[in-house]
């Protein structure tokens, strides 16, 4: 196996060779057409335009059903050969790989799609795809990217030391999901009595509190004030406000939670959640103008039930416990700080915090149906965006989600800094703002078939490299030049200059995709597909509203800590999107049973829906019986290969 250090040295040499112009590009013969089998399981997300209604572009061109989408027509012209989309338009990428593997990947030159990076690496190591490291002289921009981003190179290296696919690299080192709330609820409850309505709801206190940051703990105070363990709104509110005034020097109590001076921890947040839960009359009137009898308040909720693993991220705020090693719920490995792989859901550090999550849930502070995956409605829409709908009786206070889509649904929703926490395993004993979600290398991308002809391989390499040039990258992110404003730039809240979208693009997104610009770009224009390229923030920032822009600034200017691929602190290092496993590794995995069963047991324990699961020790035993030690050792070996051990 090639060592990573040697790999990077080779990259540097090849990049310098290519950039110095010693490769004879003119002598390379490329095919006149290139067959691409790129699947997403959604016929709107392919390279071919599949809409029944033609799309009229601003330059007068009309795109009809069956044509290549505009971005791919443009790319085809720029690289100088025809692109043929040979994908079964609604086929899942995983199905495509399984089918094409049976014939040795011979029906196209390029194969790709979403969530198939592990397949591409493993089939590449078996000889079905070309090793891109052998062709970096034809891809100088790819070579430069890998040299500049050695941790990306490591993450996409197969177990034999080869690189067989180029991934979709999201906006790495940028925040992904962050915290949002109804800011007017906080100010209405904490800064004045004018909005308060009489309330008769109560809750049985269960959460015990965690931190000892101050002389007193607000949870201890609320619990002590509860009568017979039962807390009402007036008691919870008065205790919280007195605590804030006694502990902090804010002009208004709401400032503990809102704005750049926010310094709340998880205990102080839960104290506020209790107040929100107990104030349905007040908060329904704040949101609709009148008290709505029978209103239910969910202090914390997730976008939809498929996001149910978000509850585990609350463990981040009990001394920085790691939950996901990358921006994926399936990415459950992290580095313990000593280059040792830990499966987070089975770790002692994580399991020791699950009882706190159970306590929070038992108080009714988290939307009760969050674990029912048969429930398909968008919870976020109900909780945040339905205030004006007659008869609505469900309201949510706070969530953790994407900036653009969350703030675009309602101007009442604002970003808030995350709770303060320490991260002692990372050696960080001061309280800091921290979020675990950071933009990641995706398990998506494409590879070149080893069965392709020499001319076809040259053409595919030219395309691969083109998407790592500025022009090619901009085509993927911002679509064709006709949809941009020539000679003008958009200056984002990060201070960077980006290509500027024309008004036509915003108008078309409104007409064809209900203002969903990203969806319009993928489904109609053909940009933002999960092919091999690196995305930047300019597209997303351009259709972020005022509250969204303020959220970006809030997190960037306060330097909220988050994991990254380049972190020198191993505990905060992002893990690869997938691990490349050998045949021997895969054989060993068939003897273990670690995954959904234990995760379901965690949810059942938190919600109290299975009396047989009496403690986290029962869950730890399930992991032990499932072979967690062998499971971690298999992935430790794969991680060691990535690290070049």
pLDDT per residue as tens digits for the range 475-533: 999 999 999 999 999 998 888 999 999 999 999 999 999 889 999 999 999 999 999 99
CA distances from 124 to 105, 138, 483, 574 (A): 11, 19, 37, 24
537-577 confidence digits (pLDDT tens):
999 999 899 999 999 999 999 999 999 998 999 999 999 99
Question: Please, is 512 exposed, middle or buried when counting C-beta atoms within 10 Å of its C-beta (0-12, 13-18, 19+)?
Answer: middle
**Separation of alpha carbons 386 and 164, rounded Å:** 47
**Separation of alpha carbons 515 and 507, rounded Å:** 8
- The share of the chain scoring above pLDDT 90, in percent, equals 89
C-beta separation of 142 from 148 below 8 A: no
C-beta separation of 54 from 3 below 8 A: no
Secondary-structure breakdown of the chain: helix, strand, coil percentages, each rounded to the nearest 5: 45, 15, 40
127-169 confidence digits (pLDDT tens):
999 999 999 999 999 999 999 999 999 999 999 999 999 999 9
**Separation of alpha carbons 518 and 524, rounded Å:** 10
The 8-class DSSP code of residue 417 comes to: P
Of 351, 373, 364, the C-alpha closest to 301 is 364
Does 26 have pLDDT greater than 80?
no
User: Which DSSP helix (H) or strand (E) runs through 247?
Assistant: helix 233-247
Of 52, 164, 179, the C-alpha closest to 97 is 164
pLDDT of the residue at 27: 53
- Tell me yes or no: is domain 4-174+440-543 CATH 3.20.20.70: no
pLDDT of the residue at 23: 41
Q: Are strands 533-534 and 166-169 parallel, antiparallel or unpaired?
A: parallel
Q: Are strands 110-113 and 33-39 parallel, antiparallel or unpaired?
A: parallel
The 8-class DSSP code of residue 89 comes to: T
Q: Are strands 497-501 and 341-343 parallel, antiparallel or unpaired?
A: unpaired
Question: Please, is 144 exposed, middle or buried when counting C-beta atoms within 10 Å of its C-beta (0-12, 13-18, 19+)?
Answer: buried
- Looking at the chain, the domain(s) classified CATH 3.40.190.10 span 4-174+440-543
- Tell me yes or no: is domain 177-433 CATH 2.40.360: no
**Which residues have CB under 8 Å from 74's CB, separation 6+?**
475, 479, 480, 481
Query: Within 13 Å and on the Cβ side, how many CA atoms surround 271?
Result: 35
Q: CA angle 122-118-323, nearest 5°?
A: 140
- The share of the chain scoring above pLDDT 70, in percent, equals 96
CA distances from 33 to 86, 109, 514 (A): 12, 10, 36
pLDDT of the residue at 10: 45
Does 18 have pLDDT greater than 60?
no
């Amino acid at each position: 196996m090639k060592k990573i250090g040697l790999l990077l040295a080779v990259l540097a040499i090849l990049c310098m060779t290519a950039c110095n112009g010693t490769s004879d590009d003119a002598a390379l013969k490329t095919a006149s057409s290139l067959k691409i089998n790129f699947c997403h399981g959604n016929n709107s997300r392919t390279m071919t335009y599949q809409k029944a209604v033609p799309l009229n572009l601003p330059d007068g061109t009309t795109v009809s059903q069956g044509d290549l989408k505009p971005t791919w027509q443009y790319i085809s012209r720029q690289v100088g050969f025809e692109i043929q989309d040979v994908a079964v338009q609604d086929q899942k990428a995983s199905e495509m790989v399984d089918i094409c593997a049976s014939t040795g990947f011979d029906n196209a030159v390029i194969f790709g799609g979403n969530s198939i990076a592990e397949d591409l690496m493993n089939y590449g190591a078996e000889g079905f795809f070309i090793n891109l490291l052998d062709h970096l002289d034809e891809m100088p921009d790819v070579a430069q990217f890998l040299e500049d981003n050695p941790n990306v190179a490591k993450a996409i290296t197969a177990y034999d030391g080869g690189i067989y696919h180029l991934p979709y690299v999201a906006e790495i080192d940028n925040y992904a999901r962050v915290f949002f709330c109804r800011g007017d609820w906080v100010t209405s409850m904490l800064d004045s009595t004018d909005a308060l309505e009489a309330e008769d709801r109560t809750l049985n206190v269960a959460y015990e509190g965690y931190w000892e940051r101050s002389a007193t703990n607000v949870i201890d105070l609320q619990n002590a004030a509860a009568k017979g363990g039962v807390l009402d709104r007036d008691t919870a509110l008065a205790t919280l406000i007195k605590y804030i005034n006694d502990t902090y020097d804010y002009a208004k109590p709401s400032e503990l939670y809102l704005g750049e001076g926010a310094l709340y921890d998880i205990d102080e947040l839960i104290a506020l959640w209790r107040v929100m839960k107990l104030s349905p009359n007040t908060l329904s009137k704040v949101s609709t103008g009148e008290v709505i009898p029978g209103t239910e308040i969910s202090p914390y909720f997730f976008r939809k039930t498929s996001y149910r693993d978000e509850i585990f991220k609350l463990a981040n705020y009990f001394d920085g416990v790691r939950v996901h090693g990358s921006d994926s719920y399936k990415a459950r490995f992290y580095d313990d700080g000593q280059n040792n792989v830990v499966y987070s859901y089975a770790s002692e550090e994580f399991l020791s915090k699950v009882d706190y999550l159970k306590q929070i849930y038992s108080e009714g502070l988290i939307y009760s149906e969050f674990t029912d995956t048969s429930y398909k409605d968008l919870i976020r829409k109900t909780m945040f965006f339905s205030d004006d709908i007659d008869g609505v009786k469900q309201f949510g206070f706070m969530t953790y989600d994407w900036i653009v889509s969350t703030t675009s649904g309602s101007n009442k929703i604002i970003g808030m800094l995350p709770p303060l926490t320490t991260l002692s395993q990372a050696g960080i004993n001061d309280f800091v703002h921290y979020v675990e979600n950071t933009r990641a290398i995706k398990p998506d991308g494409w590879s070149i078939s080893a069965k392709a002809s020499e001319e076809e391989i040259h053409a595919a390499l030219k395309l691969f490299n083109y998407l790592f040039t500025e022009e090619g990258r901009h085509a993927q992110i911002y679509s064709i030049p006709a949809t941009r404003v020539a000679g003008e730039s958009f200056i984002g809240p990060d201070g960077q200059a980006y290509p500027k979208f024309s008004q036509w693009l915003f108008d078309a997104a409104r007409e064809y995709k209900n203002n969903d610009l990203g969806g319009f770009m993928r489904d109609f224009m053909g940009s933002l597909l999960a092919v091999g390229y690196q995305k930047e923030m300019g597209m997303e920032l351009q259709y972020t509203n005022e509250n969204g822009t303020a959220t970006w600034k809030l997190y960037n200017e306060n330097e909220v800590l988050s994991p990254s691929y380049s972190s020198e602190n191993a505990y905060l290092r992002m893990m690869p999107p997938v691990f490349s496993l050998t045949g021997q590794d895969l054989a060993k995995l068939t003897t273990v049973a670690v995954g959904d069963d234990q995760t379901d047991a965690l949810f059942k324990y938190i919600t109290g829906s299975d009396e047989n699961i009496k403690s986290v020790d029962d869950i730890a035993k399930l992991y032990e019986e499932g072979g967690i030690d062998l499971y971690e050792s298999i992935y430790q070996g794969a991680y060691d290969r990535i690290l070049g051990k």
